[in-house]
Amino acid sequence: MDIMPLVWGKATLGEAALHCLKVCDPEEKTKVTCDVAQLWKAGCLQIGFPPKSCLPDIPGRPVWPSLVAPRELPRRKLTTVLGRAALIHAIAHIEFNAINLAWDAVCRFHDLPGEFYDDWVQVALEEAYHFCLLQDHLHSMNHEYGDFPAHDGLWEMAQKTAHDPLVRMALVPRVLEARGLDVTPGMIERLQQAGDLRAVLILEIILRDEVGHVGIGSHWFRYLCESRELNAETTFRDLVNGYFKGKTRGPLHREARLRAGFSEAELRMLDKELNDSRLC
């Protein structure tokens, strides 16, 4: 799809989202994400969707970074510039994938309330902002996105949850992205110790916004459970056990997770999973 119809407002939101999803160049993807978000907020795009057969199995992304298994990623010390650049690159890769995940949700899941699309367009916009902050910091360290290997865990889970928005909302925002709420405070502390105050400020912005993103996942997960007359807490437990058995990691950032829409019962369930995994 040419970008011009988007500027003129002739595309539907789903078509525009699909365009953003397919763009490979990171700079262009962040630009069209901002353009489409502005058009949507201005009321220039109508809700409508391309056929699901048009949705790609693999989103638009650059040739680099090379994608490897998580165990193949080298561990580097944050006391070195190279180590900090590798960490910033890893987070940038997550944010780039998160742009794609947000647009995929917009064009894949049909017939939901308009607020669903409002939320995920906003998430795409904020993830693009995060990516730009991280890319700029990488440039300040004489690196750029693509210089280090990365893994594809987020998109692999997107593929596994493509059949059902309820499963997507449960497992991508509320498991994979919620893990970021747990680990980011520790990264901030280590970067403070290393003297990288620019990275600290960026991660503080990301942590603030990601609480909201996980909260959006929580909201729509509960909405979908209620519409199907399902108990949200037992459904979440069953999905976590079905997809992540033995893979729950901690510790949990309980305060952030509560603000992001987790219930105390859900946190107790996750704590139990953690304790059980330690005994194995």
High-pLDDT (> 70) share of the chain, %: 94
pTM, two decimals, is 0.94
- CATH domain 4-58+79-279 topology: Ferritin (1.20.1260)
The answer to whether residues 190 and 262 touch, using CB atoms and an 8 Å cutoff, is no
Question: What pLDDT is attached to residue 272?
Answer: 84
Question: What pLDDT is attached to residue 8?
Answer: 44
Structure tokens at 89: 């690159």
- Using CA atoms, how far residue 144 sits from 29, 52, 186, 235, in Å, is 15, 33, 24, 41
More confident residue, 8 or 224: 224
164: CB partners within 8 A, 6+ apart: none
Distance CA 33, CA 132 (A): 12
The single-letter code of the amino acid at 171 is L
More confident residue, 271 or 94: 94
The answer to whether residues 275 and 249 touch, using CB atoms and an 8 Å cutoff, is no
* pLDDT single digits (tens) 247-258: 667 789 999 999
Question: What pLDDT is attached to residue 237?
Answer: 94
Torsion 36-41-45-47 (CA) sign? positive
Domain ranges of the chain: 4-58+79-279
Structure tokens at 53: 């057969």
Q: For 258, how many CA atoms within 13 A lie in the half-sphere containing its CB?
A: 6
Instruction: Label residue 9 by pLDDT band (50, 70, 90).
Output: low
Q: Quick one: three-class SS letters along the chain?
A: CCCHHHHHCCCEHHHHHHHHHHCCCHHHHHHHHHHHHHHHHCCCCECCCCCHHHCCCCCCCCCCCCECCHHHCCCCCCCCHHHHHHHHHHHHHHHHHHHHHHHHHHHHCCCCCHHHHHHHHHHHHHHHHHHHHHHHHHHHCCCCCCCCCECCHHHHHHHHCCCCHHHHHHHHHHHHHHHHHHHHHHHHHHHHHHCCHHHHHHHHHHHHHHHHHHHHHHHHHHHHHHHCCCCHHHHHHHHHHHHHCCCCCCCCCHHHHHHCCCCHHHHHHHHHHHHHHHHC
Cα dihedral 229, 231, 237, 241, rounded to 10, equals -30
Of 21, 26, 28, residue with least CA distance to 146: 26
The answer to whether residues 105 and 13 touch, using CB atoms and an 8 Å cutoff, is no
* Other CB atoms within 10 A of residue 24 CB: 11
* pLDDT single digits (tens) 39-71: 999 999 999 999 989 999 999 999 999 999 888
Question: What pLDDT is attached to residue 172?
Answer: 97
Question: What pLDDT is attached to residue 277?
Answer: 56
The answer to whether residues 233 and 269 touch, using CB atoms and an 8 Å cutoff, is yes
